[in-house]
Amino acid sequence: MKGIIRKTILGIWFFGGLSACTSKPHFTIEGSLDEKVDGEAYIVGYPGWNKKPDTLARAEIRDGKFTLTGSLPDTMEAGLYITGEKTYAILLLENADYRAHLHLKNPEANRVEGPELQLLFATYQAIGNKTAGQTNELRNRYYSARQKNDTATMNEVMRTMGKLGEQTGREQEQFREAHKDGFLAAYLLNKRMYQYQNIEDLQREYDQLGASAKAMKLTRQVVERLDEMAAFAPGKKAPDFTLPTPEGDSLSMYSIQGKVKILDFWASWCAPCRAENPYMVELYKKYHRHGLEILSVSLDHQQAPWVKAIADDHLSWNHVMDTQDVSRGMYKLLCGIPHVIVLDENNVIVANGIRGKQLDIKLKAIFGK
């Protein structure tokens, strides 16, 4: 009898242990909505590193509540969505337990609780969300002023938005300074890498990462971006392109001769670009007689607003429009506009991704004026 009991206990231990060893770690998201509705909730994983998004789990919503479960090979960004609704939440998803409360009509009020990584991410998101409402109001005010050609209000709004952006940027930078390693550090740099207009700033941010962050797949994409930008660093020759002018002719970038040439990528619908134009006009007046030429490359897709913006902003230099993103793709300009590249008389890049005071300082150094 003792032998039978011993074998039974051993059998339970063996099969129970085998089951424990083979069970996969998993995530669970207990969700609720601010309205008691039915439907479907689903979570989509964004693994990055040239991989397509994938739906990780789906669940029915009953009386405003749902539970999503699944298993992940690696930590990744994920989006939590409700079928037929605009609301969503972004998670840094790992095999752990989460609680999510979503607002159908006010996504900014959505809240997700989870492990330490998610809590840190929520803290970082909150920094940007503090001024989101004010920024949207200012943006609407800017477009209203532009329709009335109210330059004074437009400039005032841009100055206010600039101050808000600087304040938010400083707080976010302080957060990143305190979290330079691990998945969050790699993730934040990966999400921001196309915001850097010059290679020096992105390289500095990458160099400051900890060893584990640098080893992650997300950071490999940053290294690829650095390699792309290196091809357009100072000292490299800029490639030529030919695009249509407002008059319907074709103009080659190489055909424009000057001691210094500025490539100015912009668009009529780009508020920061339009805000920069008065400053660019002043630089042109100051340095054109010394050999400065400007080629503005518009990313507009319609001629009428492009031509109107040229006239309204008094841009009296060469212009072309790139409706097919030929030049933007050629120059790997994934960081947005406005974007300025400074060339010498041989079309060699002197500076990339500078504007405002930095651009004026560079031109003063070149012309000695």
Segment 9-63, tens digit of pLDDT: 334 333 344 333 445 689 999 999 998 888 999 999 998 756 789 999 999 999 9
In order of their start, the domains of the chain are: 27-114 (2.60.40.180), 183-231 (no CATH), 236-367 (3.40.30.10)
The dihedrals phi and psi of 264, each to the nearest 5 degrees, come to -115, 105
Segment 191-242, tens digit of pLDDT: 999 888 888 899 999 999 999 999 998 999 999 999 988 888 899 999 999 9
Inter-residue contact 107 to 87 (CB < 8 Å): yes
Write down the pLDDT at residue 81. 96
Radius of gyration of the chain measured on its C-alpha atoms: 27
* pTM score over 0.95: no
Inter-residue contact 335 to 354 (CB < 8 Å): no
Average pLDDT, the chain: 88
Q: Return the ∠ at Cα 22 (arms to 19 and 12), rounded to 5°.
A: 20
